[in-house]
Structures are given as structure tokens and as C-alpha cells.
Amino acid sequence: MKILFVSLLFVLTLAFAQPQTGGVLRAGMQTDPVGLDPHTTSATSSRNMLENVYDTLVMFDSEGRIVPGLAESWETSEDGLTWTFALRSGVTFHNGDPLTAKDVVFSINRIKDPEVASPNAGDFEVVKSVAAQGDRAVVFTLTEPYSPLLSKLANSLNVVVSQRVVEENGNLDEAVVGTGPFRFIEYLPQTRLVLTKNDTFWGTDEEGNALPYLDGVTFTFYSDPTARTTALVTGNVDWIEYVPAADLPALQSNPDLAVVGGLSANFRSLYLNPNRPPLDKPQVRQAIAYAIDEQAIVDLALFGTGGVAATGTTIPAGSFYAVAESPYTGQDLERARTLLTEAGYADGFDLDLYVTSTYDFLRTPAEVIQADLAQVGIRVNIRAEDWSIYLPTVLEGDFTATILGESGQSDPDDYLYTVFHTDAGGNFSSFSDPELDAMLEEGRRTSGEDERKAIYDRAQARILELAPQTFLFHSAQYEAHSRSVAGFEHFPNTSYLGLRTTYFAR
């Protein structure tokens, strides 16, 4: 029996030695959540407000390592097909019910249930069964070895929920009950979402002090980026997410504020729907990739501070699994025109580009793309809608082209299988290639890093050949806060679990 991780305490490293308790953090957010049921939403806006209401079996720390969550230890069989998780004792839901192994079993099976239609159902498709052993042990039995299992369990939308609460309410959009450090109080659309301290939270800091330190968090929505920055500068909020790239230098130079962040574990791409002509032709998709100047998008749309140009695929340069080169890096208009001619579109065509008006980094690249593609005869029509309308439309695959991405990846499976496998929940454009599917499935079954890299190198070469997306940039994401706010850690996977250790230094 091979022991993977054992820990008796959930330890969080704090930046300050004597954190103080009390106070409600006023947080300025980009947009409303799109659904409050963590198992049925894929919206980052939902995740960032719910991940401190709920808990997962295991978690990522601020350096991307897997650490204990509701499971204090786990072990796996030698063949990798059986995983056993030991749960913490004394954990209760916000309604007072004790957490039991049956709740964990129910939660994983709920994510897998086709009737629930969770976008994360594919994370556990190789889980043959989940069984409770008493109240404090859960056994996962797999159909085949599955290297990304811990990473999937740490996804902060793959949370453990109360079986009783779901059965009594049908879903969790109205009954938000978790085991996390904050309890849900209210949500007023386009106004605020309010959380208050969970006095019975299981987590402690490295000194054994109870978490969280804050009495609560009030999330207020500022869809206009300038309004969010202004709210922080004028003291109407204490903390903001998604510092606008245009405002970053001014906030960094403000002595009353602190800015944290950097390059994040995400990607942004031009998604192309291969089911809508002429995007069904690989030459056309390749031509689009050759025509777009990724660096110009970073320089012009992101003000040179909002990210780095993509030089490979979805995996950022510098990662062990990244490919070093892409034929599409930079701009090659002659090659683009040649491919369009070969595909029968020498005079170009009209292309509808659907974007969200909510996130500036997903909206502003559209005009650069429009100008680039005009040089090869592709006439781009831009249509923008609010995130609450845009996202459900995209999730239904109802677009020709759109600018989107994924946030918070860890395992290469998150970057590749989740986005490109035929049956994956993040494959919004319904792209399908059996040869690529086979490689991505092999990557899941393989455990050795070098062996997995060889597989993913081949997979990324296939992705570049078929060009289902034009890879634009990897975001740099920043949070900014008042100097009175302390203890907040930026997570490269764009998580706000750092709010668990945030406090006011008075």
C-alpha cells in the first residue's frame, strides 16, 4: 500500500505573525455569479464566491500543491485503482448536520449523474464506484489508473454538499449550505452577495487559531472596470478582483494600496465552431491562426500588462508539459491568404464573433482580431452581451466564434482533455477528433511525468495541426486592496481561497 499524503492539521502559512479577528471585507467583483449550485455551474464568477462557502476533499495551496481539505489523509492501492480517503472528525455543515462519508459519496455521484448535467461530470467518468466505509472513510474504485484524480477533487466546484439539503430542496441555487469558513446570507442580483463567518469552521492557522479571521465578506458587483478601480481608490471597497490592465500602474504606485498577482494558470483563445462552415475546414481555421498577431493583442488590448502572448497551445510557456513552439506565433498574412485560397475562400467571408461585454480582457481583443482578419478578407461582425446571457449561450455551443478560456488549471489534463476531448464538458465548440481523443485518454491512464509529456507533446502537435482554437494569451491576474487588509494570498490558479486567512491589520 502506497501512502500519498498524511496530515493531521490543515496548515496555512500566514504572511503576518499576529492576525486580528473581526471586520467585514467589502470586495469589489467583476460580475454576478451565474448560478449558485456549484455542481451545475462552470462560471469562474460563481466559483470565486462559493469556494469559501463549500469545501473539497483536497485543496490546492497558494503554490499549487495538493493539501488536505475535508480529507485529512489518503492512500492508493499499488495498481492505482482504489483510493481511500480518511475524513476529518467533527466537521459540520452550516445547518448543524455532521459531515459523513455518505455526503461525499452523494456529492461525487451527483456530479456524475447525467440528469444533473454537471459540466464537471467528465472529471469522474473513470470512477466506477464511490463507497462509504463507516462515517469517516470513502473508497473510490476506478476502471483504470487516473493520474488527474487529486487535481479533479481539488477543483473548487467539485465540492462536498449535504445530501439532506439537496434532497429537501432539489438543487442548491436557493439553499447554499456548505462546510466552509463563511455561511451564505443573501444574494441580490446586480447588487451584492453576502457571507458571514462560520464560527464552527474546522480550519486553523499554523498556530492553531480558528479560521476565518473576518466576520464576513460582502461582494459588490462593478461590471464597469473603471468603477471597480474607483471604488477601491475612494475607499468604498477594501479589495477588488481583476485589476483592469489599464489601471495597474496607477494602483501599483498608490502608497495606500497593495497589488498582488501575476501570470495565472489560465488561457484565452479564439474558439472556432467546426460545425459551422467555413470553419469546418482546417485550412480556414489555420488561416485565422496565421492572420492574428497575439503580441498585438497583449500590447493593445491588454496594455502590455494583462498577460503574455501564447507561444504554444493552452498550456503556458515554462510549464513542464508545454510545447515550445507554434507555427502560428506572430503573424503571417501571406500564408493565411494562401490557405484561404486553397479552401475556396480567396475573397474571404463574414464571421460572427460573439463576446461578453462584462470582462474587458475577453472583450477588448475582439477589435484587434477584427482588424487582423480584415487584412485577409475575413469580415468580422462583433456582438457583445452581458456575461449572464453570454455564458449560457456559449455553453450550449450557440456561437460561430468566441473569445473565452479556462481558469485554474493544474494538471495537463485540465488544459487539454477538458477543452478538446469529444465528450469533455469544456469542449464548448463540440470539436471532435478520434485520434486526439485516444492520446488524451492515454494521458489520463499514464502516471510517469516523462511518459505523460511524450503523450501530451503528440496531442498538442495534433491540436496545432487541426487548429480548433487560435491561442491568444495567458492572463496575468491581479487583486488590489487597501493597506489595512492583510493576510491575503494570491493563488496562481485564480482561486480566492486566500480570503480564509485575510484580516484587517488595525
Which percentage of the chain shows pLDDT scores above 70?
A: 97
Q: Please tell me the distance from the alpha carbon of residue 88 to that of residue 457, in angstroms, as a whole number.
A: 39
Domain count for the chain: 2
Tell me if 494 is assigned to some domain.
no
What are the cell numbers at 360? 474587458
- pLDDT value at position 14? 38
Averaged pLDDT score across all residues of the chain: 94
Q: In 3-state terms, what secondary structure has residue 138? A: strand
Residues 291 and 153 in one domain: no
* Residue 17 CB neighbour total at 10 angstroms: 6
**How far is the CA of 276 from the CAs of 348, 390, 464, in angstroms?**
15, 19, 19
* 139 and 282 fall within a common domain: no
Q: Give the Cα-Cα-Cα angle 224, 485, 241 (nearest 5 degrees).
A: 25
The pLDDT value given to residue 343: 98
- pLDDT, average across residues 53-71: 95
**More confidently predicted of 358 and 4:** 358
Question: How many Cα atoms sit within 13 Å of 275 on the Cβ side?
Answer: 9
Give domain status of residue 453, yes or no.
yes
Residue 114 domain-assigned (yes or no): yes
Q: Is residue 193 part of a domain?
A: no
pLDDT tens track for 308-357: 999 999 999 889 999 988 999 999 999 999 999 999 999 999 999 999 99
Give the amino acid at 33: P
Summarised one tens digit per residue, pLDDT across range 88-136 is 999 999 999 999 999 999 999 999 999 999 999 999 999 999 999 999 9
Q: Which residues of 239-276 are buried (b: 16+ CB within 10 A; e: fewer)?
A: bbbbbbbbbbeebeeeeebbbebeebbbbbbbbbbbee
Structural domain of 424:
266-474
pLDDT tens-digit map of 272-299: 999 999 999 999 999 999 999 999 999 9
DSSP letter string, 144-173: S--TTHHHHHHSTTS-B--HHHHHHHSSSS
- Report d(CA 409, CA 428) in Å as an integer: 17
150 and 296 inside one domain: no
- Shared domain check, 429 and 310: yes
**What is the predicted pLDDT for the residue at 325?**
87
Please report where in the chains the cell 488544459 appears, as a residue: 415
Is 253 domain-assigned?
Answer: no
- The pLDDT tens digits of the residues spanning 394-443 come to 999 999 999 999 887 789 999 999 999 999 989 999 999 999 999 999 99
Question: For the chain, first and last CA: distance in Å?
Answer: 50
Is residue 212 one of the residues assigned to a domain?
no
Asked whether residue 275 is domain-assigned, the answer is yes
Peptide bond into 278 cis (omega under 30): yes
Domain boundary among 169, 204, 231: 169
* CATH code where residue 456 lies: 3.10.105.10
Measured CA to CA, the distance from residue 229 to residue 248 in angstroms comes to 9
Q: What is the pLDDT of residue 324?
A: 82
**283 in the same domain as 153:** no
Q: Which residue among 134, 169, 204 closes a domain?
A: 169
Q: For 16-28, what is the mean pLDDT? A: 88
What are the distances in angstroms from CA 429 to CA 65, 167, 266, 280, 424?
A: 31, 33, 18, 11, 11
End position of a domain, from candidates 136, 169, 202: 169
- The CATH number that applies at residue 79 is 3.90.76.10
Q: Is residue 374 part of a domain?
A: yes
